[in-house]
Structure 1
Amino acid sequence: MQNIFHGLGIALVTPFTANGEVDYEALERLIEYQLENGADFLTILATTSESPCLSAEEKDKITQTIIAIVKGRVPILKYCGGNNTAAVIEEIRTTDWHGIDGILSICPYYNKPSQEGLYQHFKAIAEVSPLPVILYNVPGRTGVNMTAETTVRIANDFPNVIAIKEASGCLEQVDEIIKNKPKHFSVISGDDALTFPMIASGAVGVISVIGNALPKEFSKMIRLEFNGEYEAAVKIHHQFTELYKLLFVDGNPAGCKALLNELGLIDNVLRLPLVPTRIETKKRIHDILTKMRLH
Structure 2
Amino acid sequence: MSRINANTKGVFVIAATPFTPDGKIDHNSLDGMVDFYFDKGADGLTILGMMGEAPKLTQSESLAIAKQIIKRAAGKPIVVGVSAPGLAAIGELTKAVMDEGAAGVMVAPPGNLKTNEQIITYYANVVKTIGEDVPVVLQDFPLATGVSISSATMGTIFENHPSIVMLKHEDWPGLQKISDLRDAEKKGRRRVSILCGNAGVFLPEEMRRGADGAMTGFAYPEMMVEICRLCNADQYDKAHDLFDAYLPLMRYEQQPALGLAVRKFILARRGVIAHASQRQPGADLSPTAQQEVIFLMTRLEKRMAEIS
Normalised by the length of structure 1, the TM-score is 0.92
Counterpart in 1 of 2:208? Answer: 200
Paired residue type of 1:112? L
**Which of 232, 237, 246 is the aligned partner of 2:243?**
237
Q: Secondary structure at the match of 2:99?
A: coil
For residues 94 and 139 of structure 2, what CA distance do their matches in structure 1 show?
A: 16
Selected match of 1:215 from 196, 221, 224: 221
Residues 1:160 and 2:168 are matched in the alignment: no
- For the residue of structure 2 that corresponds to 1:43, the secondary structure is strand
Mean CA deviation greater in 180-189 or 7-16: 180-189
Q: Could you say if the C-alpha distance between residues 260 and 42 of structure 1 is closer, same or farther in structure 2, counting changes exceeding 3 Å?
A: same
What residue number does 2:122 align with? 121
Q: Quick one: structure 1 residues 83 and 57, their matched pair in 2 at CA, closer, same or farther if it must change by over 3 Å?
A: closer
Residue identity in the other structure for 1:184: R
Partner SS for 1:283:
helix
**How far is 1:112 from its partner?**
3.3
Q: Which amino acid letter does the alignment assign opposite residue 18 of structure 1?
A: P
Give the match for residue 105 of structure 2.
103
Q: Identify the residue that residue 86 of structure 2 maps to in structure 1.
A: 84
Contact 2:223–2:243 (CA under 8 A) maintained in structure 1: no
Corresponding residue number in structure 2 for 1:265: 272
SS at match of 1:48: coil
Q: Which amino acid aligns with 1:264?
A: G
Query: Would you say the 8 A contact 1:4–1:75 is kept in 2?
Result: no
What is the alpha-carbon distance in structure 1 between the residues aligned to residue 226 and residue 201 of structure 2?
A: 15
Contact 1:134–1:162 under 8 Å retained in 2: yes
Distance 1:60-1:4 versus aligned 2 partners, 3 A rule: farther
Q: Write the distance in 2 (CA, Å) between the matches of 1:140 and 1:125.
A: 22
- The residue type equivalent to 1:88 in the other structure is I
Q: In structure 2, what is the Cα distance between the partners aligned to 1:142 and 1:225?
A: 30
Q: Structure 2 CA distance, aligned partners of 1:23 and 1:92?
A: 23
Task: List gaps (5 residues or longer) in structure 2.
Answer: none
- Asked whether the 8 Å contact 2:7–2:192 carries over to 1, the reply is no
Q: Is the 8 A contact 1:106 1:135 kept in 2?
A: yes
Corresponding residue of 1:112: 113
TM-score (norm 2): 0.88
Distance verdict in 2 for CA 1:179–1:280, change over 3 Å: farther
Partners in 1 of 2:208 and 2:253 — Cα distance? 23
TM-aligned CA deviation for residue 69 of structure 1:
0.6
Shift in Å, 1:61: 1.1
Residue 150 of structure 1 pairs with residue 153 of structure 2: yes
Which has the higher mean CA deviation after the structures are superposed, 82-91 or 49-58? 82-91
Identify if the C-alpha distance between structure 1 residues 85 and 65 changes in structure 2 by more than 3 Å, giving closer, same or farther: closer
For structure 1, which runs of at least 5 residues remain unmatched after alignment?
Answer: none
**3-state SS of paired residue (2:208):** helix
Deviation at 1:248, TM superposition (A): 3.1
Q: Give the Å deviation of 1:223.
A: 0.8
Counterparts of 2:254 and 2:293, CA distance in 1: 12
Large movers: runs of 4+ above 6 Å? none
The farther-off stretch of 74-83 and 41-50 is: 74-83
Residues 86-95 or 126-135, more deviating? 86-95
1:70 is matched with 73
For the residues of structure 2 that align with 1:180 and 1:265, how far apart are their CA atoms?
41
Give the CA deviation at 1:158. 1.3
Letter in 2 for 1:81: S
Contact residue 120 and residue 157 of structure 2 kept, 8 A: yes
> 1:89 offset after TM fit, Å?
4.1
What is the deviation of 1:97?
Answer: 3.1
Partner of 1:171: 175
Contact kept? 1:178, 1:187, Cα under 8 Å: no
1:245 Cα offset (Å):
2.2
- Equivalent of 2:262, from 244, 255, 266? 255
1:91, CA displacement in angstroms?
4.6
Aligned residues: 291
